[in-house]
Structure 1
Amino acid sequence: MLGVLLSLAAALGFGGSAVLARVGLQYVSPVTGTLVSLLVGIVITTTLALVFHFDEIWALTAIAFGWFLLVGVLNYPLGRLLNFNSVSKVGVARATPVVGASPLFAAALAVTIGGETMTWTIFVGTLAIVGGIALIVSQK
Structure 2
Amino acid sequence: MSGAPDPLYVLARSVLLDTLEALGPQRKAVVLVGAQAVYLHVGESDLAVAPFTTDADIAVDPAALESEPELRVALLRDHPQAGETAREALAALGPLFATAAGQGSRMAARAAAPEPENTITTSCAVLAVDLLRALKS
Instruction: State the structure with more CA Rg.
Output: 1
User: Which has a greater percent of helix?
Assistant: 1
User: Which has a greater percent of strand?
Assistant: 2
Q: Same fold (TM over 0.5)?
A: no
Normalising by structure 1, we get a TM-score of: 0.29
Normalising by structure 2, we get a TM-score of: 0.29
